[in-house]
Amino acid sequence: MADGSIGLWTVPLAVFGGAIRVSTPFLFVSLGECITERSGRINLGLEGTLVMGAMSAYGISYLSGSPWLGVLAAGITGALLGALHAGICSLPRVNDVAVGIALMLFGTGLAFYLGKPLIEPTAPRLPAIDFGWWSDIPQVRAALRVNVLFLIGVALAPILYWAFRTTRWGLLIRTAGESSDAARAMGHSVLLIRLRATMVGGFLAGIGGSFLSLFYPGSWNEGLSSGQGITAVALVIFARWDPLLCLWASLAFGGAAALGPALQSVGVTSGYHLFNAAPYILTLAIMIITCSPKRTLTGAPAELSITR
Amino acid sequence: MDFGRISRRHLLQGGAALTLGAAAGVRPAFAADTTIGFIYVGSRDDYGYNQAHAQGAAALKKIPGLKVVEEEKVPETDAVEKTIESMINLDGASLLFPTSFGYYNPHMIKMANKFPKLRFEHCGGLWSDKDPKNAGSYFGYIDEAQYISGIVAGYTSKSGKVGFVAAKPIPQVLRNINAFALGAKLANPKATTQVIFTGDWSMPVKEAEATNSLIDQGVDVLTCHVDGPKTMVENAARRGAFVCGYHVNQSPLAPKAYLTGAEWNWEALYPKFVKMIAAGESIPNFYRGGLKEEIVKTSPYGEAVSAEARKHADDIKAKFLSAEGYAIFKGGLVDNKGKTVIPAGTDRGQKDPELEKMDYLVEGVIGATS
């Protein structure tokens, strides 16, 4: 069109673009949580890890001038918070859900405290890869400006799926998650396996946070996460602890987040609160459809404190 | 999450509270060393609404004899009443500025009734005769500055489509959207203003999505009314669109894309309030003003603003500053559903309280209030 508008095509394009732009933090946190939960532990603190990751990535990127160093710092921060969670949970009679909630509050609080001086400065951002070179429609080009972290996340999902099924450490994590007695009988330390799984989970969640502050929306402020970390933890249950389903669920959540603003921009203005709530309605609907009082959730690791 | 509050108010001063509490409440108002309390709904360095107030508070800190206590991220619930009480009982505050819209009724009113000797100044509320006399509401006609931004946006936009990322359809936000849209239409009668509501004051991902959706629709100049405009400004500039700022000057974030902006000027107003109190005058319970009263201001023009746009905007600004003033909302105004909202012949001047109940979007705005 002559005026540069693409009319109603905005909606599918925005949902598609939103699936790419918004899904990455969901993807990293849910894959990380998937590893942790498969080892038999729930880390609800990933919301705090996500926010800490976002803050530390922004800070390191600002101070060092290198956004990739920021991503690394976010991952390390996440792994340390994961180690803290696992360490506390290794003590006898500690509830992992309660520790997770405490760490969620600790992580966000610490990030807000340390992040105060980072709200004003502008840090270098991660570069985007332009996959829209073939199109001369600017909207399509903008939707296809993809960050490499998204591609890493997309690649990681099938790799994890394969690794859980066929590799030795995948089997170990699943054993620890399904029956800690079996893992002990095999001569492995369940606590050590869970420590590593929680640290890897934290590492990934931290990287998810770095995407928020260094790519999209692309700056540090205190409302940045608005609950995406905790949504992603719920996503894992929704995805039945399956990394591939985590990928699809994250994409669906990303697309759903873009739906509300996109519909308003083409003139569907009534009920925007409802459209803004789309991701949560989606979760509720799928939970209701798939739940059953007669059996536990399929795919749930038997050692998880919520299924035990 | 706000562990700062617990440690500061409850742990350190907890012991002192027992003895001090009773005495502090009956302190004579506005003694030589006055303590002033500021309460913010969000973080005070948000590059937006709360930062503008914090800059005003910072201006008060420079005045000798004044002590300023601040608390951030206080929700618009009972929590603000607790904050007010602890500021009064523990810090001895005698003048309070609860700065967020939702603090006013019932929370601040309740506190003003409970502490009749202390002074409460609320930003944005509508004080009426039924409310306590020691409470007041002040606000700025920032729509004047939004109107100037709209004029600049109307001249700068090549597509004739300007965009507005808004939080919630409350009167103050709608008034800004309408002023911006009318300004754009003054510059370019064919200009349309597209609005997207994100649903809350601070939703960075939604704000970024709204910005992208608007630009996908051909919008090339954007402004916003959310608590922290940083997300909109940065994301719009990355997509090559121009922006008009809000709350404070965001030009350092996007120097090339920044055209102008509507800013608060609390650092001028708050010292004025304190001087009025020191001189024994009472602050009017219902205090309003715009560019002329120096409650709001506009950001300096960016390099992309044409000479024609500057001239037109400066002319209108001069009218706002003149003695007779200027009415943005003139008679014969039609909303975007075709209904006449201001009958022909009755201009609504800036001080008209009807405008503070605005519930419509004017013709030329694409969007709906519900």
Q: Which domains does chain A have, with CATH numbers?
A: 7-304 (1.10.3470)
Task: Kindly state whether residues B226 and B307 are assigned to the same domain.
Answer: yes
Q: What was the pLDDT predicted at B4?
A: 46
B226 in a domain, yes or no?
yes
Task: Kindly state whether residues B147 and B129 are assigned to the same domain.
Answer: no
Q: What was the pLDDT predicted at B45?
A: 82
pLDDT in tens, A249-267: 999 888 888 888 888 888 7
- Boundary of a domain, candidates B112, B140, B168: B140
Tokens of B240: 């090559």
* Percent of chain B residues topping a pLDDT of 90: 73
Q: What was the pLDDT predicted at A295?
A: 65
Count: domains in chain B: 2
Mean pLDDT of chain A: 89
Task: Kindly state whether residues B241 and B335 are assigned to the same domain.
Answer: yes
For strands B192-197 and B161-166, give the pairing. parallel
pLDDT in tens, A193-242: 999 999 999 999 999 999 999 998 998 988 888 788 988 988 898 888 99
- B366 CB neighbours in chain A (<8 A) are 267
Query: How would you class B248 by CB atoms within 10 Å of its CB: exposed for 0-12, middle for 13-18, buried for 19 or more?
Result: buried
CA closest to A8 among chain B residues: B217
pLDDT in tens, B236-262: 999 999 999 999 999 999 999 999 999
Confidence of residue B27 (pLDDT cuts 50, 70, 90): very low
Task: Kindly state whether residues B345 and B204 are assigned to the same domain.
Answer: yes
Q: What was the pLDDT predicted at A6?
A: 65
- Boundary of a domain, candidates B80, B105, B140: B140
Task: Kindly state whether residues B147 and B136 are assigned to the same domain.
Answer: no
Task: Kindly state whether residues B320 and B255 are assigned to the same domain.
Answer: yes
Task: Kindly state whether residues B159 and B128 are assigned to the same domain.
Answer: no
**Residues of the domain holding B88:** 34-140
Q: E-assigned strands of chain B? A: 34-39, 66-71, 93-98, 119-123, 135-140, 161-166, 192-197, 221-225, 242-247, 258-264, 286-289, 296-298, 333-334, 340-342, 365-366
pLDDT at residue B97 tops 60: yes
Interface confidence (ipTM) of the complex: 0.86
B206 contact A CB<8A: yes
- A254 CB neighbours in chain B (<8 A) are none
- Nearest CA-CA distance, residue B217 and chain A, Å: 5
- Boundary of a domain, candidates B81, B107, B140: B140
pLDDT at residue B10 tops 70: no
- Interface-testing mutation among B177, B216, B217, B221, with chain A (most A C-beta atoms within 10 A): B216
- A269 CB neighbours in chain B (<8 A) are 367-368
Report the amino acid identity of residue B90. Answer: L
Tokens of A196: 């590593």
pLDDT in tens, A24-67: 999 999 999 999 999 999 999 999 999 999 999 999 999 999 99
B338 in a domain, yes or no?
yes
Question: CB distance B205–A228 less than 8 Å?
Answer: yes
Task: Kindly state whether residues B160 and B244 are assigned to the same domain.
Answer: yes
Instruction: Please state the rounded mean pLDDT for residues B2-27.
Output: 44
For strands B119-123 and B93-98, give the pairing. parallel
B48 contact A CB<8A: no
Query: How would you class B17 by CB atoms within 10 Å of its CB: exposed for 0-12, middle for 13-18, buried for 19 or more?
Result: middle
B274 in a domain, yes or no?
no
A145 contact B CB<8A: no
Q: What was the pLDDT predicted at B191?
A: 97
pLDDT in tens, B126-143: 888 899 999 999 999 999
Question: CB distance A5–B2 less than 8 Å?
Answer: no
Q: What was the pLDDT predicted at B24?
A: 41
- A276 CB neighbours in chain B (<8 A) are 198-199, 206
Q: What was the pLDDT predicted at B203?
A: 87
Q: What was the pLDDT predicted at A141?
A: 84
B14 in a domain, yes or no?
no
Task: Kindly state whether residues B348 and B254 are assigned to the same domain.
Answer: yes
Instruction: Please state the rounded mean pLDDT for residues B211-239.
Output: 93
Task: Kindly state whether residues B85 and B157 are assigned to the same domain.
Answer: no
B133 in a domain, yes or no?
yes
H-helix segments, B239-356: 266-278, 307-321
Question: CB distance B207–A217 less than 8 Å?
Answer: yes
Q: What was the pLDDT predicted at A257?
A: 83
B7 in a domain, yes or no?
no
Q: What was the pLDDT predicted at B23?
A: 40
Q: What was the pLDDT predicted at B13?
A: 46
Q: Among A141-145, A285-289, B49-53, B365-369, whose mean pLDDT is lowest?
A: A285-289
Instruction: Please state the rounded mean pLDDT for residues B335-339.
Output: 93
B183 in a domain, yes or no?
yes
Q: What was the pLDDT predicted at A307?
A: 65
Mean pLDDT of chain B: 89
Task: Kindly state whether residues B248 and B202 are assigned to the same domain.
Answer: yes
A79 contact B CB<8A: no
Q: What was the pLDDT predicted at B32?
A: 56
Instruction: Please state the rounded mean pLDDT for residues A174-184.
Output: 93
B199 contact A CB<8A: yes
Instruction: Please state the rounded mean pLDDT for residues A129-155.
Output: 88
B208 in a domain, yes or no?
yes
More confident residue, A227 or B182: B182
A23 contact B CB<8A: no
Instruction: Please state the rounded mean pLDDT for residues A137-151.
Output: 88
CB proximity under 8 Å: A 121-140 to B: 122, 139
Task: Kindly state whether residues B43 and B160 are assigned to the same domain.
Answer: no
Indicate which CATH number applies to the domain containing B60: 3.40.50.2300
- B250-257: long-range contacts at Cβ-Cβ below 8 A with a sequence spacing of 24 or more? B250/B47, B251/B299, B251/B300, B251/B302, B252/A122, B253/A122, B253/B47, B255/B302, B256/B302, B256/B303, B256/B304, B257/B233, B257/B302, B257/B304
- Nearest CA-CA distance, residue A299 and chain B, Å: 32
